[in-house]
Every structure is written in structure tokens, then in C-alpha cells.
Amino acid sequence: MKSSNEESLDLLVVARQQFDRALEWAGELKAGLVDYLKNPKRTIHVRFSIPLDDGSVRTFHGFRVLHNHARGPGKGGIRYHPDVTEHEVAALAAFMTWKTAIADVPFGGAKGGVVCNPKELSQAELRRITRRFVIELGDSIGPHTDIPAPDVYTDSQTMAWIYDTYDVLHPGQNNHAVVTGKPIELGGSLGRDEATGRGCLNATERLLAAGMVPGLDGIDGARVAIQGLGQVGAAAMRLCHGRGAKIVAVSDSRGGVADPTGLDPDAVLAHKHETGSVVGLPEVATITNDELLAVDCDILIPAALECVINGDNAASVKARLVVEAANGPTTPAADDVLRDNDVVVLPDIVANGGGVVVSYFEWVQNLEHQRWPLELVEERLKTKMEAAVDDMAAVYREILDGNDREDGSAPTLRDAALVVAIRRLSDVVLKRDIWM
């Protein structure tokens, strides 16, 4: 897939370009390490059949990619989407490796996907798909090997089915830690539902307080536009609004709505709940998803799918700050345009790390048979997100200070975040001496 300016919109190509760019700022790495860090450790393909409700049988294709597990078991969501591909899942698994490293949680990176359209499947069909997928994955997933979580169009119910299936296959032991994002009753952590959105808020506030976005020093009074109102986008909307932001536009897969005087999040969510979309909310303008990205605002939060800000439309972004709640929403060509236009991008591997941080908390609670109060989860999440932003900012300043490029090109926060992650992972790999 390509944009009209011939830029690849293949997420794996994007992920590799991002990695290559960051390497230019990372300093010398031991020979052989680059290849090792860049490529997935393992990719599992499975095909399985389930009966549909009408009695027919359909075969589905699923994959699970383990990108790296040097720092701990693989960690990453499972996505159900008709367009999910091996490339997309491999890229998302790599993002998880960098994300867990920069958040400094003891996991590696993994991701899974099943090619299916949940909007056309019943709950019973989704349950059968999930159970069969887990059976096919067998012992490649487990509390100390590879731990799934929710992603696009999978939720806590999906995680409950994963846990139950794995538990039936492995009786007589505590299996809760095999999957995170579970319902609270099954060992889910308080605060997991809104962790990614809350982490975005924590990271954004830290970045703004550090003066890293010229002309914007806080969320209070900032005009915010959000693409995607799922688990992440809806939480980000509520939490930003709670901090005094004005929500000037929101969208979902069917389109968006905008009001420069500010939308009421409760009314937006109630309308979406009733009708399935934000489109049609009374007394506000209807906009397209492309128009949402170009809305006059201070903070733009892409919280849906990848590559939505690319070489074709990056110049139309009016925000001063893009907070990447989604994974991979901005392409390398767009990164260049945004940097040249003084638009700061808080990269996905930092911005949306709150989900995996609270997943880590859930995993710890499960292993220790503990239940942490919400206040403790939120306090520890904030500490982790702020540390990730501080680490990224410190390396950003370090590479900016040492920048003597003749063409005058400067690093981005994405480069800095990746350098933090690459250094952390390289350090572990070399200390483990994995070369035998």
C-alpha cells in the first residue's frame, strides 16, 4: 500500500525506517546486533476452522509474532481486523519491544492477529475463534513465555476466553498471568481499561511541563482533537476534558464531529452508545476523518489506526503537538514534514505505553495473588510514564547537543525514544552474552 506520493504505508516498512533513522543517532553498536534487534525472533501462522452460527464452516488465518524476548517474556495485544497482515503484526511486535524497554517493564515484544471482521461475527462465533486460536498457539503463549492482551476489536471478554481456554489446557496451576486486560473478576487490574488513555495524559503533561512544546505549557485550556473513540480515544477524551482541555473534534470509523467551542464528552459517548457512531450528534458540524487531522487545535491525538498521518496530509496538521495514542499513526515522511513545521510528535512507544505498564502491574498482581487499589495503580503508572518521558527527553537533548550534521537535520523525539530502547535492549543482550 502506498500514499499518493509513493511513500510505503506498509507498517513494517515504516517500523524499519524508524529504526534505521534512530540508529543514525544511537552511536556505535556491536556488529551483528542490528540484525538481531531488527528482525522478529519467531512468527507463528495458524489456520483453523470453526462452525458459524448458520451451520457453515469457515477457516480463519491467525498469527503471533515474538519480536524479542531478551528482557523478558513476549508481551503484546491480539488484534481482530479484516485487514490485519503478518507485516502489520510484525511491526506492532517490534513497537512492543521498544515500548517495554522504554517503559522499563521486564517484557519483550510480541503481537498477534486474526483476520476476521468482528462487526460481522456474533459473540458465539468470536468465542469459538478465540478458543481455537489459543489451542492452535499451544504452549507458545504462557505466563513466562508470551503474554497476550487486548488490541483493536478485542476486549476484556476476549481475554477472559483466552484465560479460560489456557486454564483448561493447563489445570492445577495459577494461570491468571497468561493474559492481561482480563475482567476484574478474573484477575484483571483496576485501572487497566483506561490505562493507555491515562498514560497518554501523564506523558503529555510531563512533556508540556518540561517546556518541550513551544507555546504550550499545559493541558488546561488546550484545544484537543481525537481520531478514534475506542478504549484508548474515549479515555483520553474524558481525562483531557477533566484536566480543562476543550475537545474540539472527535471521530470514529464512520466520520467525525467538530465544535470549536468544545464538545461535551458525556453527550458524545452517549450518542455513540445509542447510534454506534459520533456522527449525527445534534447541533455540531460533521467532518470526515481527513478533516479531523487538519482541524485547528493545539493537541491532535490519533487513537485509531496506523499511517493516518503521512506524506500526503502532514502539511495540513495545525496542532502544535501530536500525541500518538495509536500505534504507528505517523509515517517517516510525515515525521519530516511535522518536524520542519515545528509540530512536536510524542511517539507511540512512549505515549501509549500506559497499557503495557498496567498490564505489567496486572501480571505482577496475578503472580503474587494480590489486588492493588486503584490509587496505587494510577500513582505507579504516573511514575512510570513520567520516567519514560524524562529518559526520552534526556537522550533527545544529548543527541541534539552532539548534532553536527552538515545538512542541518535534527533528531525527533521518536529518534530519542528509540535510542533509549535500543541502548537498554543492547545492554541486556550483551550482558546476557547471547552469542554463545
- Indicate which residues carry an active-site annotation: 111
Pure H helices in 306-401: 332-340, 348-351, 354-367, 374-401
Pick out residues in 101-120 that bind ligand NAD (CB under 6 A).
none
Cell 481520531, residue located: 227
Pure H helices in 27-62: 33-38
C-alpha grid cell for residue 332? Answer: 517517516
Query: Which region, left, alpha or beta, applies to residue 32 given φ > 0 means left and ψ of -120 to 50 means alpha?
Result: left
Sheet strand arrangement including 321-323: 285-287, 255-258, 246-252, 223-227, 299-302, 321-323, 344-346
Q: Which is nearer to ligand NAD, 113 or 411 (CB)?
A: 113
Count CB neighbours of 256 within 10 A: 28
C-alpha grid cell for residue 115? Answer: 483476520
Amino acid letter, 320: R
CA distance 112 to 92: 9
Residue 183 Cβ, how far from ligand NAD at the closest point, in Å? 15
Residue 273 Cβ, how far from ligand NAD at the closest point, in Å? 12
Pick the stretch among 39-47, 313-321, 324-332, 426-434 that binds ligand NAD (CB under 6 A): 324-332
Residue 141 Cβ, how far from ligand NAD at the closest point, in Å? 18
- Report if residue 303 touches ligand NAD, rule: CB under 6 A: yes
Q: Which is nearer to ligand NAD, 142 or 355 (CB)?
A: 355
Contacts 24+ apart (CB under 8 A), 242-245: 243/201, 243/205, 243/219, 244/219, 244/220, 245/219, 245/220, 245/221, 245/299
C-alpha grid cell for residue 319? Answer: 496542532
Pure H helices in 341-373: 348-351, 354-367
Residue 55 Cβ, how far from ligand NAD at the closest point, in Å? 29
Residue 324 Cβ, how far from ligand NAD at the closest point, in Å? 9
Closest CA to 15 of 113, 117, 85, 107: 85
Q: Which is nearer to ligand NAD, 332 or 353 (CB)?
A: 353
Residue 429 Cβ, how far from ligand NAD at the closest point, in Å? 25
Q: Which residue is nearest to ligand NAD (CB)?
A: 230
- Report if residue 196 touches ligand NAD, rule: CB under 6 A: yes
Work out whether the CA dihedral 406, 407, 412, 417 comes out positive or negative.
Answer: negative
Amino acid letter, 240: C
With residue 286 as reference, give the H or E element that holds it.
strand 285-287
Pick the stretch among 20-28, 100-108, 323-331, 381-389 that binds ligand NAD (CB under 6 A): 323-331
Residue 158 Cβ, how far from ligand NAD at the closest point, in Å? 11
Identified binder of ligand NAD from the candidate list 130, 204, 310, 327, rule CB under 6 A: 327
Identified binder of ligand NAD from the candidate list 304, 322, 345, 377, rule CB under 6 A: 304
Identified binder of ligand NAD from the candidate list 26, 297, 299, 305, rule CB under 6 A: 305
Residue 408 Cβ, how far from ligand NAD at the closest point, in Å? 33
Pick the stretch among 4-12, 66-74, 127-135, 302-310 that binds ligand NAD (CB under 6 A): 302-310
Q: Which string of x and - marks every residue 243-282 that binds ligand NAD (by CB under 6 A)?
A: --------xxx-----------------------------
Residues contacting ligand NAD: total by CB under 6 A: 24
Instruction: Check if the beta carbon of residue 40 is closer than 8 Å to that of residue 66.
Output: yes
Q: Which string of x and - marks every residue 220-249 that binds ligand NAD (by CB under 6 A)?
A: -------xxxxxxx----------------
Identified binder of ligand NAD from the candidate list 101, 326, 338, 418, rule CB under 6 A: 326
User: Which residues face 75 on adjacent strands?
Assistant: 147
Q: Which is nearer to ligand NAD, 329 or 411 (CB)?
A: 329
Distances (CA, A) of 199 to 35, 170, 244, 352: 31, 34, 17, 6
Q: Which is nearer to ligand NAD, 149 or 177 (CB)?
A: 149
Pick out residues in 349-368 that bind ligand NAD (CB under 6 A).
352, 355
Q: Which string of x and - marks every residue 150-169 that binds ligand NAD (by CB under 6 A)?
A: xxxx----------------
Q: Residue numbers of the site for ligand NAD (CB under 6 A)?
A: 150-153, 196, 227-233, 251-253, 289, 303-305, 325-327, 352, 355
